[in-house]
Structure formats: C-alpha cells, structure tokens
Structure 1
Amino acid sequence: MTKNIIVSTIARVVLGILFLAHGIDKLHMGLSNVEAWFDSIGVPGVFAYAVAIIELVGGVMLIMGIFTRYVSAMFVMVLLGAIFTAKPSVGLLGNGQMAGYELDLSFIIISMYLIVAERSPLSLDYLFRRKRDA
C-alpha cells in the first residue's frame, strides 16, 4: 500500500466517524428541535431531516468505503449549504456562541480529496470494483 492510500483511508474513516457523530448529535437534540432551528435561520425545516440522514447514513457509508465519491460530493453540498445559510453571520472563526465555518471548509477539502483520490483496498468500493472487473 502506498502512503496516499493509507492517508486517504484514514481521511475517509475519520470523516465518516465525524459525520456520523454529527448525525447522532442531531438525533440526541431531537429532529424537531433541529427543524425549528433550520426554520429560524430561514432554511425549510424539512432539510433538517435530509441533513441528519445524509450525515448518519453517509458517515456509515464512508467508514465502510461504500460509494465514497458520491457520499463525499453530498457532504460538500451539505457543508456549502451550512456555510452560506447558518454561518455567514458568525464568520470564519465564530462568535463565541457558535463555531465559524473553518471546520466546514476543512471537511470540504477532505471530501474533495476523497472524490478524486485513488480507491483504497480497504474499502467496499474497491472490493466491488475488483469483483466487477473480474
């Protein structure tokens, strides 16, 4: 295995864990509370459910290495939505009450890397591709 494969595998698994944790956090807060918060910032509340599902399911899929490129692309869209709807008023580093969008930018860069990175042999994507090519 090359260093790039090792790093992309670590990045994929860690990003998956972090998104899974964010999705679980939304469940613990209560999706109705998240929906109300989305409504309060001018985003239709139904998006709270979509974001929670993307974070939960997408996080698990990244950890396992399933549809990595597609999940990563969805994460980029969710993160850009967060930056442009929830974070403009708090800025890059936050305002003391809410985090800024520095972490979102980092997650976007990692997700973009995973979109173009070589498939890791430690993923189900790789396994399925090998079976299909055989």
Structure 2
Amino acid sequence: MNSQQIGALLLRFVLGLTFFIHGLAKFQGGIENTAGFFESLGLPGYSAYAVALIELIGGIAMILGFGTRVAAALFAIIMIGAIMKVKLASGFLGNGQSAGYELDLALLVMSIYFIFDKTASFSLDSKIFHSNISQS
C-alpha cells in the first residue's frame, strides 16, 4: 500500500464518519425538527428523512468502502444543496449569526474526489468486485 492509498483510506474514513454522525444527529435531535427546518427553506419535509438516511447509511457504506462512488455522489448533491440553499448567504466563514460554507465545501470536494478515485484500498468494493488497485 502506497502513501496515496493510505491518504485515500483516511479521507474515506473521515468523510464517512462525518456524514454518519450528521445523519445520526438528525434522528437523535428529532427528525421532525429537521423536517420543519427543511420546510422553512421551501423544501418538502420528507426530504429531511431522505438526507438523514443518505448521511447515516451512506456514512457506513463510505467507511466500509461499499458503493463508494454512489455514496460520494449522493453526498456531493447534499453538500451542493446545503451550500446553495442555506450557507452561501452567510459567506465562507459565516456572518457571526450562522456558520459559513467552509466545512460544506470541504466535504463537497472530498466527495468529488471519491467519485473519480479509482483506488479503493481496504474496501468492500475491491473485495467484491476484485478491482485491480494501482500499486504506483
């Protein structure tokens, strides 16, 4: 395993863990509250359930390296929506009353990396689909 593969493994784990914890928090904090927040943004309340489930299940999948590209694409869509609908108006670092979009942008770029990444070291994807992992 080379240094790029170790870096990708760490990045995949942290990305998955971050989304998993955010999804879990939505359910623990009362998903109805999140649904109400989504409705206040003009989004259907049921979309809060979809986002929370994607974060929760996708986070586990990302950690395990199962369906990595699909999970990453769904995460990217969520982050684009969060930036455009909620965070952009507050600026990169926030406006003192609400957080900025710096974390969302970092998570978006991490997700995009895994959409294009071909190395899946220590992943279920590589075990199940027997993909050839570059050794360079």
* TM-score normalised to structure 1 length: 0.92
The count of corresponding residues between Structure 1 and Structure 2 is 131
Shift of 1:46: 1.2
- Residues 16 and 59 in structure 1, CA contact (< 8 A), matched pair in contact too: yes
Correspondences of 1:28-107 after superposition (within 5 Å): 28-107=28-107
Shift of 1:57: 0.3
3-state DSSP class of the match of 1:98? coil
Q: Determine the structure 1 residue equivalent to 2:113.
A: 113
Where does structure 2 lack aligned partners over 5 or more consecutive residues? 132-136
RMSD: 1.3
- Residues 64 and 123 in structure 1, CA contact (< 8 A), matched pair in contact too: yes
CA spacing shift, 1:118–1:3, aligned 2, 3 Å: farther
Equivalent position amino acid for 2:32 in 1: S
Within 2, Cα distance between the matches of 1:3 and 1:117? Answer: 14
- Residues 68 and 125 in structure 1, CA contact (< 8 A), matched pair in contact too: yes
3-state DSSP class of the match of 1:43? coil
Within 1, Cα distance between the matches of 2:89 and 2:42? Answer: 13
Where does structure 1 lack aligned partners over 5 or more consecutive residues? none
Shift of 1:88: 2.6
Within 2, Cα distance between the matches of 1:128 and 1:119? Answer: 14
Equivalent position amino acid for 1:20 in 2: F
Shift of 1:97: 2.9
Deviations 1:59-94 (A, max 9, x none): 000000001011101100010011111113212111
Aligned residues: percent identity?
43
Equivalent position amino acid for 1:66 in 2: F
